[in-house]
Chain A
Amino acid sequence: MTIIALSHLAKRFGAIQALRDVNATITGNIIGLLGPNGAGKSTLLKCLLGLIPFEGTASVLGLSAATDGSAIRDRVGYMPEQEALLGDMSAVELCTYAGELSGLPRTEAMQRAHAALYYAGLEDKRYQPIEGYSTGMKQRVKLAQALVHDPELLFLDEPTNGLDPRSRDEMLDLIVDLPQRRGCAIILSTHLLPDVERVCDHAVIMHQASVKFVGTIDELRGARGDDTALTVDVKADAAKLAAALTEAGATCSVSSPIQLAVDLPAQATTELVFRRARDAGIQIRGIEVRRESVEAAFLRVVGADKDVAA
């Protein structure tokens, strides 16, 4: 199902072209929205929520962002990066308020506030004032307030910011669980590419006001169309197999006594590896196509400029 469709989307702020002729059809369950600072992610988000006028067309969940911004915002949840919580409230009061502001009747909002906080892991802390919460708890409240009105699409902006490793793990687990359990798609905007690698199935990469890549994570990592780069795990003596494969024209790099990276010669297949291993008396434990990391793929897509990864 298409979640977002963009056609010739453009936005200018005075002399600054914030979005330039953006065309994309975005599908998937958890979509990583990636791009260096100033790439146009925030502007795209504002356009999609119908908060600013733009040229071209944009639709979210089948609704026009130009004319149905209010209806879109009722069906979308937004977890901001910065602190955006109200004072003098407990988590359950805040989430109830959020639900009511999104159009839920008060009783329904209250029930869903409890459920959302329970889901976000704040079951026994939900009556405490938010001011006393730790960073991790505030991140959970932000997630709960974004979920309370039962959105079909969630925008998560740097959801693991400031979290310790354990809390980060738990937050990522929640993100992975959401589409399965609640049937909502997620757009995850983050600079933490390992997070994207772990949870996203699709990615959108923006750079210099336009979309540079839209597709699955596998497509992103394997976009070179190159299945001759392999990682081979052996029981022992990786160096011996490397020597045998080098003799056959492959390029090998031994990373440990039980693992080596192999770049096969053109037209060769994995059969070459099996044959040489059998001839050398080496037991193969596993072979997988060696793909780029998301970080390497991202840098390639945005022009191999390492500065943009920050």
Chain B
Amino acid sequence: MSESTIHDLGYKRYVGTRQPTSRRWRVIARQQISSSWQTFFRYKAWLVSAVIVTVIAAVFIFIATDKRWHLGHGVQQTFANMALPFALDWYGRLAFIITLRIGSGVIAGDFQRGAFTFYFARSTRPIDYLLGKVGGLAALLGIVLVVAPLSVALMRVGLAGAGSTDELVPQLWLVPKVLAIGGLATLAYTTVPLAFSALVENRRYALGVWAAWYLIAGPVAYGIGRVTHLPLAALDIAASVKSVTLHLLDAPVTPWGQSVYDLPSLTASITSLGIQIVVAIAIVLWRLDAAQRSGVGGAT
């Protein structure tokens, strides 16, 4: 026997109740948020950027309410009306950067570190892991894609100059529309990178594949779709989100002069985003199920 001393801090057997398995996903979600919060350039920098975009949008709304913006295609809009599409366009860019920093590497990183042994040797189920990761990332992305645009929308509604309730109610429709756009975008920006992360069991490669899908494959599909008039353009996540934004906000042109007619249709965009979200979730669950079966005690 060695000379080592064993310490024990008054060990007592745990006799309390255990949290039900169905609530374990919250622990994973909280851990995901806390790990994303750790360094400045993982999430905080992009959150600060979103705040800056919100402030700029607010300035547009407050100061330049009646000034008109020449958008091309013979379209003019007031700065106030374009503030929300402008802000959403930037929130989308920031969301993509966030997915590069914390989304696309999540599952791949866990594969690389053998973390599924850690998770699945406990009573964690693949669905708990999925809900936890999606929940955590969606909470972080939702601040940029839902909370920030919602605050811009509320400022827009507040400054619409409605003199009576009858005038205010139509303006309030902006709120559910922004929630729908933000919610759909949040789900797409959360689940699709996670699917690539689950497919490619290497953090760097997963990041690269997701970036290639978003920055190369999507725009290529968009280009082919425009030329061939096929709904292929809707595969471009950014274009689909833009299309949903412009259609729901009744804005004919993006702040950068891109016409709504150049974008995929609303139906094609929503369908494409929906399919990508569902397929992404299915891929993640399939990979997690396999990880649960093989992750403990060596591969089978």
Contact = CB atoms under 8 A, between A and B. Distances in A.
Interface of A: 13, 18, 41-43, 45-46, 49, 51-52, 69-71, 73-74, 78, 80-89, 97-98, 100-105, 108, 112, 114-115, 118-119, 121, 123, 145, 149-150, 157, 166, 169-170, 172-174, 177, 181-183
Nearest to B293: A52
25 contacts: A42-B300, A49-B121, A51-B120, A70-B123, A74-B18, A78-B296, A80-B117, A80-B121, A84-B114, A88-B38, A100-B27, A108-B16, A112-B14, A114-B9, A119-B7, A119-B8, A145-B118, A149-B122, A150-B14, A157-B297, A172-B2, A173-B1, A173-B2, A174-B6, A177-B6
A73 B300 contact: no
A102 B18 contact: yes
Contact of A119 (B2, B6, B31, B293): B6
Given A84-B115, A103-B18, A169-B1, A98 B293 contact: no
A118 B109 CA distance: 28
Contact of A83 (B16, B114, B124): B114
B298 interface: yes
Nearest 8 pairs between A and B by C-beta?
Answer: A103-B18, A169-B2, A42-B297, A78-B121, A84-B117, A150-B14, A45-B297, A84-B114
A102 B35 CA distance: 20
Contacts of B101: none
Contact of A71 (B9, B31, B118, B123): B123
Give chain B's interface secondary structure class.
loop
Given A166-B2, A173-B1, A173-B2, A119 B9 contact: yes
Contacts, number: 142
Contacts of B124: 101
A103 B17 CA distance: 8
Nearest to B203: A87
Contact of B109 (A73, A87, A108, A172): A87
B9 A102 contact: no
Given A70-B125, A80-B117, A101-B27, A118 B297 contact: no
Given A51-B292, A97-B27, A118-B8, A80 B122 contact: no
Given A45-B296, A103-B24, A74 B122 contact: yes
A84 to B, nearest CB: 4
A203 B298 CA distance: 21
B164 interface: no
B285 to A, nearest CB: 16
Given A70-B125, A87-B113, A173-B1, A115 B9 contact: yes
Contacts of A80: 114, 117-118, 121, 296-297
A112 B21 CA distance: 20
A87 B115 CA distance: 9
The residue among A69, A102, A104, A112 with the most chain B CB atoms within 10 A of its own CB is A102
B21 to A, nearest CB: 5
Contacts of A114: 9
A206 B4 CA distance: 33
Given A46-B296, A102-B18, A119-B6, 15 more contacts: A42-B296, A43-B297, A51-B120, A82-B114, A83-B113, A84-B118, A85-B114, A98-B122, A103-B20, A103-B21, A104-B19, A119-B7, A123-B7, A169-B2, A173-B2
